[in-house]
Structure 1
Amino acid sequence: MIAFENVGKTYPDGTTAVEDFSLEIASHEAVVLVGTSGSGKTTLLRMINRMVDPSSGRVAIDGEDVAGLDPVRLRRSIGYVMQASGLLPHRSVLDNVTTVPVLRGTSRREARSRALELLETVGLDPALARRYPSQLSGGQQQRVGVARALAADPNILLMDEPFGAVDPIVRADLQQEMLRIQKELHKTIVFVTHDIDEAFLLGDRVVLLRPGGVVAQQGTPQEILAAPADDFVRSFVGADRGTRTLHVEEIEGRRIVVDADGRAAGVLEPPAGGAARA
């Protein structure tokens, strides 16, 4: 379990990134921190692996204050995926993925065998293992970044807007791949994004932040959509614009889901043995 206990962060120039934030994240839970720029979401994420130390309060993993842990060893025990993949350009895909396991003492042979398995896990052809990052597409680089984060088999996976730099089609593909991986591996995931649709898709629980790391609302996507806490939340999730208000129209014998502006949002089709679904 990850616990934020009244954490705050004020920088030397007086800027307050996080005022007073508390949250518990259960083991194997995928929690998404979502908010605009200045909401402190990336600062909070980086407190977990001590890339940022809080000015007040504490962050604990399984009851142990991370401030008392060696930051290098801590970071090697936690998977971390960033927006620009962060791959080492002078090292092959295989060597990028094996970096942390080798640093932790795993033999190169064992680490490389595991890396090839992970490339398949993230949907990459192992034949790409000998290529360098510059020889890969943006989407492929992000998949390698996920494989590298998983290489040491961490319990915790931190993801800082990992799909923000790729085009919408690749992003949607990566999101679905992430859902598949989580279903298979059951990691504790803390995911940062500014995209509410991505948050609702990937999060077991979503934490919507105001500037300064103030929690506007937290809950499952269904809970937030069903009962937005206030106008800020309603605006952020699009409820005030009708983009989350859907109804069904029958057109040429098919049930079409339509939004408040009359735009088609999907088709309802009956599942194998039950009622219709989108």
Structure 2
Amino acid sequence: MIEFASVRKEYPGGTVAVEDFSLTIPSHAVAVLVGSSGCGKTTLLRMINRMVEPSGGTVSIDGVDVRSMDAVKLRRSIGYVLQAGGLLPHRTIADNVATVPVLEGRSRRQARQDALGLLERVGLDTALADRYPGQLSGGQQQRVGVARALAADPNILLMDEPFGAVDPIVRDQLQAEMRSLQAELGKTIVFVTHDIDEAFALGDEVLVLRKGAEIAQRGTPAEILANPADEFVASFVGAGSARRTLRIREIDGRSIVVDGDDRPTGVLAR
């Protein structure tokens, strides 16, 4: 469980990125923070692994204030996926994936074997293992980034607009693969995006943020679309748009909300 309690972040010069933010994210849930650039969503994400320190309030994991933890150990225990992969260009794909396990004491041979398994899990051919990031497509690099984040088997994944730099077709594929991985692994995921379609496709809970990380509305995709809190939310999510027409389909005994393109946007009942 991740908990933000009255968190504030003010930068030198008086810029306030986060005003007063409180939120509890249950274990094994996917919480998506969505909002326009500069609303504070990435700042919130980076507070979880102490890449940004709050000016006030607390961020806790399973009841423990992250500021009481060793920052390096904390970051190694949390998977982190960046936009454009964030891979080390001078290391092979296998070595990129094995980075944290090796730092944590796993043998290089075992770390490589585990890396090959992870590459397969995220849909990559293991023949790519000895290539370098620059030899891969954008979509392949993002898959490697996800594999690297999973390499130490973390309970928490932080994903900062990880699919924002790829084309729409690859983006849809990556989103589908992420849903499949989450169904298998059940991680606690905090996902940042400015794309409301992506938020609705991936989130168990979606938080629409205004400037200063003010929560304009939180809820499931279906709840937000059916009852936008105000005009800001309605405009942001396109609640009145024809392409937002929702239908409900029964899939494997669950009521799944799908959009006009038949893509899942949320679960009404489990």
TM-score (norm 1): 0.88
AA matched with 1:122: V
Equivalent position amino acid for 1:49 in 2: N
- TM-aligned CA deviation for residue 243 of structure 1: 3.9
Q: Give the CA deviation at 1:73.
A: 0.6
1:7 corresponding residue in structure 2: 7
* Residue 187 (structure 2) pairs with residue 187 (structure 1): yes
CA distance in 1, matches of 2:134, 2:261: 38
State the match for 2:206 in structure 1.
Answer: 206
SS at match of 2:34: strand
Amino acid at match of 1:127: A
Give the count of matched residue pairs. 251
Match status 1:54 vs 2:41: no
Partner-residue secondary structure (3-state), 1:130: coil
Residue 267 of structure 2 is matched in structure 1 by none
- Aligned residue for 2:73, secondary structure, equals helix
| Matched residue type, 2:195 | D
What pairs with 1:131-146 in structure 2 (closer than 5 Å)?
131-146=131-146
Structural mapping, 1:152-171, within 5 Å: 152-171=152-171
Once residues 111 and 174 of structure 2 are traced to their aligned partners in structure 1, the CA distance between those partners, rounded to angstroms, is 24
C-alpha separation in 1, matches of 2:160 and 2:56: 23
Deviation of residue 246 (structure 1)?
6.2
In structure 1, C-alpha distance between the alignment counterparts of 2:243 and 2:118, rounded to whole Å = 38
Structure-1 residue corresponding to 2:174: 174
SS of equivalent residue, structure 2 residue 27: coil
In the TM superposition, what whole-angstrom CA distance separates every residue of 1:52-111 from its partner, at most 9, and x where no partner exists?
A: 000000000000000111111100000000002111111000000000000011111111
- List gaps (5 residues or longer) in structure 2: 248-258, 263-270
Alpha-carbon distance, 1:38 to partner: 1.4
Maintained 8 Å contact 1:6/1:58: yes
1:117 corresponding residue in structure 2: 117
> Match for 2:234: what amino acid?
R
Q: Which residue of structure 1 lines up, in the alignment, with residue 233 of structure 2? A: 233
Between stretches 104-113 and 150-159, larger displacement belongs to 104-113
Match for 1:215: what amino acid? I
Equivalent position amino acid for 1:14 in 2: G
**Any residues of structure 2 matched to 1:85-124 within 5 Å, and which?**
85-124=85-124
> Radius of gyration: which is bigger?
1
Task: Quote the Cα distance in structure 2 between the aligned partners of 1:40 and 1:77.
Answer: 24
> For residue 72 of structure 1, what is the amino acid of its counterpart?
V
Q: Which amino acid aligns with 1:188?
A: T
Q: What amino acid is aligned across from residue 207 of structure 1 in structure 2? A: L
Which residue of 1 is the match for residue 68 of structure 2? Answer: 68
Compared CA separation, residues 266 and 182, structure 1 to 2 (3 A) = closer
Q: 1:58 to 1:180 in 2, by over 3 A?
A: same
- Contact 1:10/1:55, CA 8 A, preserved across alignment: yes
Q: 1:141 to 1:242 in 2, by over 3 A?
A: same
CA contact (8 A) 1:235 1:241 kept: no
In the TM superposition, residue 125 of structure 1 has moved relative to its aligned partner by 0.4
For the residues of structure 1 that align with 2:188 and 2:78, how far apart are their CA atoms? Answer: 10
SS at 1:38 equivalent: coil
* Rounded Cα–Cα distance in structure 2 between residues aligned with 1:113 and 1:233: 47
Task: Give the 4+ runs in structure 1 shifted more than 4 A.
Answer: none
Structure 1 distance, partners of 2:261, 2:133, is 37
Please give the per-residue CA displacement for 1:181-219, whole angstroms capped at 9, x wherever unaligned: 101111000000000010000000001100100000001
Moved more, 210-219 or 102-111: 102-111
Q: State the SS of the aligned residue for 2:7.
A: strand
Instruction: Give the fraction of aligned pairs with identical amino acids, expressed as a percent.
Output: 73
Q: Would the aligned equivalents of 1:2 and 1:59 in 2 still touch at CA under 8 Å?
A: yes
Which whole-Å deviations, capped at 9, do the CAs of 1:12-42 have from their partners, x for residues lacking one?
1110000000000011000000000111000
**Distance 1:246-1:61 versus aligned 2 partners, 3 A rule:** closer
Unaligned runs of 5+ in 1: 248-258, 260-264, 268-278
Distance (whole Å) between structure 1 residues aligned to residue 69 and residue 240 of structure 2:
45
Deviations 1:153-188 (A, max 9, x none): 000000000000001111111110101110111100
1:39 equivalenced with 2:39 (yes/no): yes
RMSD of aligned alpha carbons: 1.3
